[in-house]
Structure 1
């Protein structure tokens, strides 16, 4: 049975999650891909920190539409991006913005794994190919940052999600389903 992950969340609560746990995410999250991660890693942006503290960054380049009558944004598609592309900046972004979770696909590298342990955070894997289905879990667009500078798919979106499905594949204890495993050599006879 999936566990509920209510955001914002504390490091202590995140440390209760283990690799293999299924979760359903509820609360406010941000999206950020490569261009946004480069910017976030070198910039201390108080507004984004307020959005992110205790929350989750989703590696997602959403397809977004704007209602011509109201001007309100809505997510049409929200599939995960390959997370390894954000590896050069993720540890810095986790530390600077107080994030407790990263959501994407494919896992991340050793620098991020170490940062997850140090800061009490987890990596969550979302299933690719379900962009339209995942967008249905985005219940409201709360804001957007760097839209003019980075464009729709690379901007930092602040959204509310409900019942967003994911699996913990890197936890705050150093366990990592994406890390290469060394084959155990058979014991030599004595």
Structure 2
């Protein structure tokens, strides 16, 4: 198990798709509307070495109650500008498109968290603050402190991509079973 702490640096360039990691430190949640707002108004946090979690957490009384990942592919066309600004890792579920895989090359990683484990994630989180609260709970950018959140490197900085490999293997098995 590899332990990472934010802000992230060049250590992410050594990770490989499939590596198990834990992450501690500050992360920022962001879904579609938050990305669009950041594109228009600027990133409200220091992006250098930052981590963006594709998540719309449930927050009540200053606590994170649930924080499962949302489908990251929705942010494919919205991720380039935050990576250009210095964000080193994205967290979500389901992988991202080939354009993001290329945008991560040589500078960052995509970390996968299992859908359906929102309570596990929340148990490792402390709420620190919020930006763009007017977007509503799910779309605001929440600043969260993590304590050893378990993740898998889904896309590495070398172009390795667990998700595209699964699709490739599934196609091979399908063809072997149904095209003989």
| Match status 1:20 vs 2:18 | yes
Q: Deviations over 1:52-103 (max 9, x none)?
A: 320210001100001xxxxxx110000010000111111122112x111000
Equivalence for 2:155: 170
Q: Please, what is the CA RMSD of the aligned residues?
A: 1.8
Tell me which residue corresponds to 2:6. 7
Structure 1 unaligned segments of length 5 or more: list them: 67-72, 186-190
Task: List per-residue Cα deviations over 1:137-157 (Å, max 9, x = no partner).
Answer: 10x211100002x10110001
Quick one: which of 46, 59, 64 aligns to 2:59?
Answer: 64
Aligned counterpart, 1:83: 72
Larger helix proportion of the pair: 2
Is 2:124 aligned against 1:137? yes
Q: What are the residue-to-residue correspondences of 1:78-117 with 2, within 5 Å? A: 78-96=67-85, 98-117=86-105
Alignment partner, residue 161 of structure 1: 146
Deviating runs (4+, > 6 A) in structure 1?
Answer: none
Q: Distance in 2 between matches of 1:82 and 1:129?
A: 12
Match of 1:40 in 2: 38
Q: Count the aligned residue pairs.
A: 171
TM-score (norm 2): 0.89
So what's the TM-score if we normalise by structure 1? 0.84
* Structure 2: gaps spanning 5 or more residues: 176-180
| Structure 1 CA distance for aligned equivalents of residues 37 and 81 of structure 2 | 11
Deviations 1:163-190 (A, max 9, x none): 101000100001111124275x9xxxxx
Query: In the alignment, what sits opposite 2:178?
Result: none
- Choose 1 or 2 for highest CA Rg: 1
